[in-house]
Structure 1
Amino acid sequence: MADAFTLQRRRRAIHGWLLLAPSLVMLTAFAFYPSAATLWASLFSRGTRRRPAEFIGLENYGRLFDDPTFWLVATNNLLYAGVTIPLSIALALVMALWADARIPARSFVRTAYFTPTVLPMIAAANLWLFFYTPGFGVLDRIGGLFGAASVNWLGQPETALWAVSAVTVWKEAGFFMIFYLAALQTIPPDLREAAAIEGAGRWTYTRRVVLPLLMPTTLFILVNAMINSVKLIDHLFILTRGGPSDASKLILYYVWENAFAFFDRPAAAAMTVLVLAGLGTLAALQFLVIDRRTHYR
């Protein structure tokens, strides 16, 4: 009896590992191994043909912390994330609530909201480049109707980062709306009827019932928005290339610049490790601390 039970447990364990094997292989090939290789590369100096790379420990990290450009880029990325994440989530929620309501041409509204998500970021950046172009861009033409002076949105340090952020919010909000819209459609209609019987208005029902039920979705969107705030740099190549004077340069663009423009791959690896560590820490805090308060009970 005991042998049969042990054999059954082994079969279940083998079956479980076989089911996990494809995911483990993919994660190892495209996540675990590259991360370990990047960490190892960050511990070596930049090698040349005459002078091979040498193990220098944490020296690359020390140079980064002494680099004023790195701190400027990190500050830019924090500001960029602080603007794009809450605006994208708030706009996505408003759009989802409106698209879920019983309004005329609801399918058209949903399609219009989701259309920017379908566009590649390069195409979206070229579209917004037409909006931002001084003199004959859409924004300047509209401002000219009211007597406003021409503004070089992408050529001024004071406005470049915010102009880039606006493109991201426009692109991301429609994508996040889909998750909110799917979550809204899982809320039982009985709750709305019960709230109406109790005399709750639309705002009270939304604030006390809908928003708490959407908290798990909000946490999921928050994690994705946080990751996107670091990885989305395609539009920088079209709009500003990090300028002017590094005013719109973000951390991943600086990683690319060090690796492929300056050929300083150990420094790029060190920055990548710091980004991975920061994102991992934030994600762990969100799931371990915030996740406990996201479920409506």
Structure 2
Amino acid sequence: MSAHANLERRRQAIYGWLLLSPAAVLLTLFAFYPSVATLWSSMFSRGTRRKPTEFVGTENYAELFADPTFWIVVKNNLLYAGVTIPVSIFIALSMALWANSKIRARGFVRTAYFTPTVLPMIAAANLWLFFYTPGLGVLDQIGSLFGLPSVNWLGQPETALWAIIIVTIWKEAGFFMIFYLAALQTIPEDLKEAADIEGTSRWTYTRRIVLPLLMPTTLFIAVNAMINSVKLIDHLFILTKGGPSDASKLILYYIYEMAFAFFDAPSAAAMTMMVIGVLGIVAAVQFLYLDKRTHYQ
């Protein structure tokens, strides 16, 4: 009997590993191995015909910290993330609350909000060129009606990054709205009926009941927004190419330049590992601390 139980347990274990093997193979090929290879590459020098690569340890990381452009890019990315994440979440929540209410043409409103999300990144960037082009763009045309001078929104260090931020918020708010909309539809109607019976105002109901129940969704969106804030590259190619004077250059675009414009793959690998480390810390905070405090069961 014991031998039969051991055999059955072994069969179940094999069955479980067979179910996990496709995901394990894909993760190994496209996540674990590239990460290890990138870490290993970051510890070697850039090779040339006369001077082959050699192991330098953490020297590439030290050079990055001594690079003033690196700190400009970090500052740009912190500002970019610090504005796009909370503003996108706030707009997405506001749109979801309105689109979930009993209004006319509710389906049209939801579609209109979601439309920017389905546009390809390159197409969205080209669309915004019609807004930002000096003299000919929509913004300058509107400004001219009030006697305002033409502004080179993408060609000035003071406005270039903010122009990119606006495009990102416009693109991502509708995408995040879908998650909020799905979460709102899972809230029982009994809660709203009970609040109405108690004479609770709509704002109090939203603040004391809806928002706490949406916290798991908000956390999920915030983590995704954080990841998105370090992987923007499409808009920069079309709109600014990181300029002027590195004013709109973000971390992924700088990694691309290091690897394919300056042919400095080790420095690009070192920067990539730092990004992975930061995102890993964010994920750890989510699962070990915040996740336990945002679910109401």
Taking structure 1 as the reference length, the TM-score comes to 0.98
The Cα of 1:50 is off from its aligned counterpart by: 2.6
CA deviation after TM superposition for structure 1 residue 86, in Å:
0.5
2:127 is aligned to: 127
Structure 1 residue 144: deviation in Å? 1.3
Give the aligned partner of residue 101 of structure 1. 101
Q: Would you identify which runs of 4 or more consecutive aligned residues in structure 1 move more than 3 Å?
A: none
Distance 2:206 2:296 in 1: 14
Q: Classify the secondary structure of the residue corresponding to 2:244.
A: coil
Please state how far the C-alpha of 1:83 moved relative to its aligned partner: 0.6
SS of the counterpart of 1:231? coil
Provide the rounded CA distance (Å) in 2 between the counterparts of 1:131 and 1:287.
41
Q: Which residue type is aligned with residue 10 of structure 1? A: R
TM-score by length of 2: 0.98
Write out per-residue CA displacement over residues 69-122 of structure 1, whole angstroms, 9 at most, x where no aligned residue: 001101100000001111111111111111111100000001000000000110
- What is the alpha-carbon distance in structure 1 between the residues aligned to residue 214 and residue 18 of structure 2? 35
2-structure distance, mates of 1:216, 1:261: 41
Q: Where in structure 2 are the equivalents of 1:72-151 lying within 5 Å? A: 72-151=72-151
**Root-mean-square deviation (CA), in Å?**
0.9
Please tell me the residue identity of whatever aligns with 1:19. Answer: L
Quick one: distance in 1 between partners of 2:53 and 2:223?
37
- In 1, Cα distance between equivalents of 2:48 and 2:27: 32
Residue 253 of structure 1 deviates from its aligned partner by 0.3
Task: Measure the CA separation in 1 of the matches of 2:268 and 2:233.
Answer: 15
Q: How do 1:199-218 residues align onto structure 2 when only pairs under 5 Å count? A: 199-218=199-218
- State the one-letter code of the partner of 1:222: A
Q: Which residue in the other structure is 2:268 paired with?
A: 268
Report the number of matched residues.
297
Partner of 1:49: 49
**Amino acid in the other structure paired with 2:166:** A
| Secondary structure, counterpart of 2:157 in structure 1 | coil
CA distance in 2, matches of 1:147, 1:178: 40
Q: Which residue of structure 2 lines up, in the alignment, with residue 196 of structure 1?
A: 196
What is the distance in 1 between the residues matched to 2:9 and 2:205? 49
Gaps of 5+ in 1: none
Letter in 2 for 1:218: T
CA distance in 2, matches of 1:3, 1:143: 83
> Which residue does the alignment assign to 2:153?
153
Aligned partner of 2:8 in structure 1 is 8
In structure 2, what is the equivalent of residue 232 of structure 1?
232
Q: CA deviation at 1:296?
A: 2.2
Structure 2 residue 20 is matched with structure 1 residue 20:
yes
What is aligned with 2:219?
A: 219
Equivalent AA in structure 2 for residue 22 of structure 1: P
In the aligned structure 2, how far is the partner of 1:205 from the partner of 1:18? Answer: 48
Letter in structure 2 aligned against 1:155: G
SS class of match (1:218) = helix
Amino acid at match of 1:275: V
Identical pairs, percent: 77
Answer whether contact 2:232 2:253 (CA < 8 A) is retained: no
Q: Distance in 2 between matches of 1:162 and 1:201?
A: 37
How far, CA to CA, are the matches of 1:251 and 1:106 in structure 2?
A: 39
Aligned equivalents of 2:149, 2:179: Cα separation in 1: 40
User: Structure 2 counterpart of 1:213, which letter?
Assistant: L
Looking at structure 1, the residues matched to 93 and 197 of structure 2 have their Cα atoms a distance apart, in angstroms, of 26
Mean CA deviation greater in 44-53 or 176-185: 44-53
Q: Which moved more, 1:169-178 or 1:6-15?
A: 6-15
**Are the aligned partners of 2:232 and 2:250 in contact in 1 as well (CA < 8 Å)?**
no
Partner amino acid, structure 2, of 1:192 = K
The residue number in structure 1 matching 2:66 is 66
Shift of 1:287: 2.2
**CA displacement at 1:149 relative to structure 2:** 1.5
Structure 2 Cα separation of the partners of residues 220 and 285 of structure 1:
12
Q: Which whole-Å CA distance do the structure 2 matches of 1:205 and 1:6 have between them?
A: 56
1:49: Cα distance to partner? Answer: 2.4
Structure 2 unpaired stretches of 5+: none
SS at 1:295 equivalent: coil
Alignment of 1:270-289 (within 5 A): 270-289=270-289
